[in-house]
Amino acid sequence: MLDRLLTHSEQVNAKIPSFMAEEGQAPVQQVKSVVPISAIRLVHPLPDPATGTVRDVIIRELQPVGLSFDRPTRKVFFSRMVPGLNVRIPWPKTQKRQYEDHAEDTPRIDVEERTFVPTLLRPPMPEAVLDELRNKYSKFRTRHTDEYIAEVEAREAEKKARQKGARAEEMLLPVQEYNRKMRELRRERGKPELSEEMLEKIGEVIVRSRAVRAGGQAAASPAEAEVGKVEKAVEELSLGGDQGPAGGEQPRP
């Protein structure tokens, strides 16, 4: 179906009717006619195997052989062979196109002359021309100057510091501010130190608790209460008596 749709324009002989012919005009004229590709056949002279005489033969089928691809010109070359006869039909010879030199043509030696040698010591063109070739303020630009990169990095660092510092300070609760202040005061005061008097009291309580445990479970509860008091007193002394509330508890008046 596709072969019938493809057409080719050719000059054909057409007989002109008598009522359409003008005076002195030949009865047969050559006119353009559209011929389908499927109706076109290749005619090639071949020798007759019986008589040996050369005559024109209609080639109904051709097969490509010896395919080769030329990468520089991107052209495919192959030979045409008649299947069954093993006869290769050569391509028609074409004359090489001749080019004439004119006065306005540039000589080839001038075209092939190398007039620009790139170097690493200077850019290939002025910076102003580079800004004209690619938009200096385009959002798709990937190469920037050192000054612009430093400015963007400083802007981003300032933005991150503002988010971590000022905004975090503004969102602190009063209890959190009080606890932070107490931690700074305890850090400045340093670690507490126990006096000899405190150590003697702690030793007496430890000895008494061991004696109570050795005597039995009956008197264990008063001793444990005494130990609890001592531990609580030591804890208060270690904190210095001015420790603020922990966690989210409100400070007592």
Question: What average pLDDT score do residues 29-38 get?
Answer: 82
For position 243, what pLDDT does the model report? 45
Per the prediction, the chain carries an average pLDDT of: 79
d(C-alpha 69, C-alpha 86), whole Å: 23
Does residue 244 have a pLDDT over 50? no
- DSSP, collapsed to helix, strand or coil, labels residue 245 as coil
Residue 198 and residue 237 in contact, taking contact as beta carbons nearer than 8 Å: yes
For position 246, what pLDDT does the model report? 44
